[in-house]
Structure 1
Amino acid sequence: MLCALAERWVDVLRRGDYDDTDMGAIAYTTGTGRTPMTERLACLVRTTGELREALESWLRGEPAVDVFRGKVPRGVELPDVPAGFGPHDDPTTADRRDWARLLQSWVDGAPVDWDRLHTGRHPRRIALPTYPFRLRRYWVDTTRPANGTNGTNGTPASALHPLVHTNTSDLNEHRYTSHFTGREFFLADHRVPARAGETATASDGRPDAVPVLPAVAYLEMARAAAVQAAGGDEHAWSLESASWLRPLVVDRATDVHTALTTRSGGGLDYEVYAEGDDGARVVFGRGRLRRATAAPAERLDLAALRAQCDGPVLDAETCYARLTGIGMAYGPALRGIERLHTGSRQSMARLKLPAAAARESGYVLHPAMLDAALHATLGLFADEPGTPRTALPYALGELAVPRAVPGTAWAVVRFAEDDHGGAVRRLDLDLCDDDGEVCVRLRGFSVRTADGSGTTADGEPIRPAAQTPEPPSGPDDAYLLDLIEAIGRREMSADEFKRSLA
């Protein structure tokens, strides 16, 4: 079993699932997050490259001074922890020989308190290769590549869903975990400036252009998690009261969790979060899920809607040149617009799933198609003077998914009836097939318009949107103060303030 586990480690290290910045988290998780077994192996290394080389040497049977192997005997007195690592000692003064003695004592059975040895801020726990306990027989799936991933997008072949990889629930929480490396198409081709006013570039890898998880991906993660947890058809769940709290930057291997909790009145709450370097929960988005009710198919008159678009028609090159000009860099996998019909109150975009994003199946709300639908908001602001503007997701009233998004589609975007202008605009969006049948409906989609200057339409700096506070059961001065401050930050309109008090 120890050899099999070492081989798993070598495989993930060869794939580059972890880099040197993860070494602290790897050491902390292996020491504190796993139950010590009888057969033990320890490596004294500093980098992922050294770790891989040490394991490969051990698997080949070659002697290695930095690899320690042992088997804890039963029924005998176990060794003590070496001097310098006791409960009252300072481990920061230990040198390499001291650590070698500690590792040798641990593989021989010494009870090492690894948590205490991590002084200062503890690293975060991360997902690691698991023990090969269960042996099952499987038929070879010749439709999958032999490298353990789905195509070139880096999703593990055993993943439950391209955006929801494994069930990591415990007694405290029902959740699903995804391990993102930044090489996935929806991250590698979705880069934004790290600092306001700069221009991101999708291919140059500069530190000021960072991969950010598209906002629409949260919606598919929540939907897929609900299907995994509670069952039902892929289209059996709708979302409501969704909000995006802060951008999720994936500039290193990151574990992202989708947690679900049941609501007293039915349905589920979801929360997308990760653990910070200090182990604290960092929430990026949340919302609600409910069982969708059956409804007759809705069909739109696409020809009539196109005729209502009173602005020019833009080709794909022009659309993405404008988006790049305002700091939004999209690579080939996320350039789904073929042409854009612009208008003062409504815009329409012809969409096609890019070949670079079509290699991976399993989506209902494909992030490449849904993100391209959001690019169509560019058409609503095409006739405004000055720098072109686009829309940054802020909150969503409701999302319904009558059917999966096809590979070719039309996005119809219009201002909602209760939109009153300002820094936060409210939109309705329909995603239809070529016959006009609605596949996805987004209602009450609140966005913050932005240009390349790093400001909103009213000149306020762009920053992650704060979630509108949940109203308490009765009057609460703190709640009212939160609402007033949200208005002061221009994150809420007067009408939204009134609705919050209703």
Structure 2
Amino acid sequence: MELIEQRLLEVLAGVAPRSSSVPFYSTVTGGVVDTVGLDAGYWFANLRRRVRFEEATRVLLGAGMRVFLECSAHPVLTVGIEETAADVGVEVAAVGSLRRGEGGWRRWLVSVGEAFVRGVGVDWSSALPVRPRGEVLLPTYPFQRRRYWINATGGVADLGLAGLGSAGHPLWGAAVTMAESGEVLFTGRLSLDAHPWLADHAVSGRVLLPGAGFVELVLHAGDHVGCGRVEELTLHAPLFLPEQGAVQVQLLLGVADDAGRRPVSVHARSEHADPDLPWTRHAAGILSAEVIDPGFDLTVWPPLGAVPVSTAGLYDDLVAQGYEYGPVFQGVQAAWRVGEVVYAEVALPQEAFVEAGRFGVHPALLDAALQAVGIGEPVPADRGPYLPFAWADVALFATGATALRVKITSAGPEAATLHLADPEGSPVAVVG
């Protein structure tokens, strides 16, 4: 045990002592003594006189000592030291060296580690051999990860105290109607901490809110004022999400005209931005109160004459084009073609089912439907990522879907019409 304790002192001190003499504070004499003075007379006095342990501890604390190491076969003094320090009002690190039944090298290293994590400088070279450092190459493919943390709900304080009303949506925090103009303002805060599933949507190495996310934000705002149809929506700039921190988002619904149409715009900026800096406009469009008749169903599935299209390797191919989809956005399950028309099945992973019920249509599910556009067609080798930037005649007929049947019809160069149905074929949404 003496050898182990000596090595412990060496590591903590960073140098080997020149002799076995180690100074310490005596609780009997009330002063600093040297181990060479630990003779029979010392131990006789130690047994006969009153032990002034608490007094000695207070003297050391008063001298600025904050690290206490008990070299013994089992720690019995650390608790008393911590209690005295708490009474004085200071924080200390009090650790033992060995423990009953744990007197080997492993226990010694654990004790050193306990001291190290509590702020004690440790010269690990005295205990660990020096090994050459090598470089380790990271994988060239995106990390396939799955979260098991319980997601925060991003709850807010009582909005009524601030004169606001709840927006009733996971991406919106509050809504307020302007007193004179009749405009309606929605506000929210987007971050990867509050909405970790957004981290699964990255393009060229940067996380951004998908176009389907803007559609969902606008659809909910329109439904709030009785405008259930997105007549048009154009994306002006991508909304990148930082790895740390958040962005503030505002959506402004203008006053309705005689036909019940309202202008809508979406702006955002970093939550740490200078208040005097302008907001960035990311999207703008028109909402309408016109009711759209679905006019379709997808109950016959797959359609007659449909030819299966392999989806194996789809997401590997998308990585090569610059898309980086995590598990929540890897929703394409199967696909077929009938001439130029594409049919697909898309679904959310089970861990997203609960949150899907809070959306009109979960952005990851709508994004998966877009991923099937052009599936089965050759992709030019030099093609970069395509992002949807213009939407028209979007209407929602059912909410909270976790899986969809999708029909995709070409609507011209780089344009498509989407019909979305639930797994029984009943209409969920249409993108005209």
Q: Are positions 1:259 and 2:252 aligned together?
A: yes
Pick from 401, 409, 416: which aligns with 1:406? 401
Matches within 5 A, 1:69-468: 152=151, 154-156=153-155, 160-167=168-175, 174-183=184-193, 184-193=195-204, 209-228=205-224, 230=225, 237-251=228-242, 252-265=245-258, 266-275=260-269, 277=273, 278-293=276-291, 295=293, 298-300=296-298, 302-303=300-301, 305=303, 307-309=305-307, 313-315=309-311, 317-341=312-336, 345-360=340-355, 361-379=357-375, 382-384=377-379, 386=381, 391-404=386-399, 406-416=401-411, 419=412, 421=413, 425-443=414-432
8 Å CA contact 2:323–2:385 kept in 1: the answer is no
Kindly provide the CA deviation profile for residues 395-425 of structure 1, in whole angstroms up to 9, marking residues without a partner as x: 1121111222522211111211xx1x3xxx1
> How many angstroms apart in 2 are the aligned matches of 1:321 and 1:406?
26
Give the 3 Å change call, closer, same or farther, for CA 296–384 of structure 1 in structure 2: closer
SS at match of 2:172: coil
**Which segments of 5 or more consecutive residues in structure 1 lack a partner in the other structure?**
1-62, 64-149, 194-208, 444-502
Residue 253 of structure 1: CA displacement?
1.0
Give the 3 Å change call, closer, same or farther, for CA 397–294 of structure 1 in structure 2: closer
Aligned residue identity for 2:216: E
Give the 3 Å change call, closer, same or farther, for CA 324–342 of structure 1 in structure 2: farther
Aligned residue identity for 2:239: L
**Which segments of 5 or more consecutive residues in structure 2 lack a partner in the other structure?**
1-88, 90-148, 158-165
> How many angstroms apart in 2 are the aligned matches of 1:342 and 1:185?
34
8 Å CA contact 1:211–1:249 kept in 2: the answer is yes
Matches within 5 A, 1:46-61: none
Give the match for residue 205 of structure 1.
none
Give the match for residue 460 of structure 1.
none
Give the 3 Å change call, closer, same or farther, for CA 304–407 of structure 1 in structure 2: closer
> How many angstroms apart in 1 are the aligned matches of 2:410 and 2:305?
17
SS at match of 1:356: helix
Residue 306 of structure 1: CA displacement?
6.4
> How many angstroms apart in 1 are the aligned matches of 2:383 and 2:375?
9
> How many angstroms apart in 2 are the aligned matches of 1:440 and 1:210?
29
Aligned residue identity for 1:152: N
Residue 255 of structure 1: CA displacement?
0.8
TM-score by length of 1: 0.48
Give the 3 Å change call, closer, same or farther, for CA 294–280 of structure 1 in structure 2: closer
8 Å CA contact 2:211–2:389 kept in 1: the answer is no
8 Å CA contact 2:202–2:323 kept in 1: the answer is yes
Aligned residue identity for 2:191: T
8 Å CA contact 2:404–2:421 kept in 1: the answer is yes
Aligned residue identity for 2:228: W
8 Å CA contact 1:300–1:436 kept in 2: the answer is yes
Residue 330 of structure 1: CA displacement?
1.0
> How many angstroms apart in 1 are the aligned matches of 2:207 and 2:304?
34
Residue 304 of structure 1: CA displacement?
6.2
Aligned residue identity for 1:182: L
Residue 162 of structure 1: CA displacement?
0.7
TM-score by length of 2: 0.55
Kindly provide the CA deviation profile for residues 261-288 of structure 1, in whole angstroms up to 9, marking residues without a partner as x: 1232322211110246452121101111
> How many angstroms apart in 2 are the aligned matches of 1:280 and 1:273?
10
> How many angstroms apart in 1 are the aligned matches of 2:346 and 2:209?
20
SS at match of 1:392: coil
Residue 180 of structure 1: CA displacement?
1.1
8 Å CA contact 1:378–1:389 kept in 2: the answer is no
Kindly provide the CA deviation profile for residues 183-227 of structure 1, in whole angstroms up to 9, marking residues without a partner as x: 31342111122xxxxxxxxxxxxxxx2220111111111121233
Give the match for residue 96 of structure 2.
none
Kindly provide the CA deviation profile for residues 464-483 of structure 1, in whole angstroms up to 9, marking residues without a partner as x: xxxxxxxxxxxxxxxxxxxx
More displaced, 213-222 or 335-344?
A: 335-344
Give the 3 Å change call, closer, same or farther, for CA 439–378 of structure 1 in structure 2: same
Residue 175 of structure 1: CA displacement?
0.9
> How many angstroms apart in 2 are the aligned matches of 1:238 and 1:379?
28
> How many angstroms apart in 2 are the aligned matches of 1:185 and 1:335?
15
What is the number of equivalent residue pairs in this alignment? 266
Give the match for residue 13 of structure 1.
none
Aligned residue identity for 2:372: A
Sequence identity of aligned pairs in percent?
Answer: 23
Residue 344 of structure 1: CA displacement?
6.2
Q: Give the root-mean-square deviation of aligned CA atoms.
A: 3.0
> How many angstroms apart in 1 are the aligned matches of 2:385 and 2:277?
35
Residue 427 of structure 1: CA displacement?
0.8
> How many angstroms apart in 2 are the aligned matches of 1:304 and 1:408?
15
8 Å CA contact 1:153–1:185 kept in 2: the answer is no
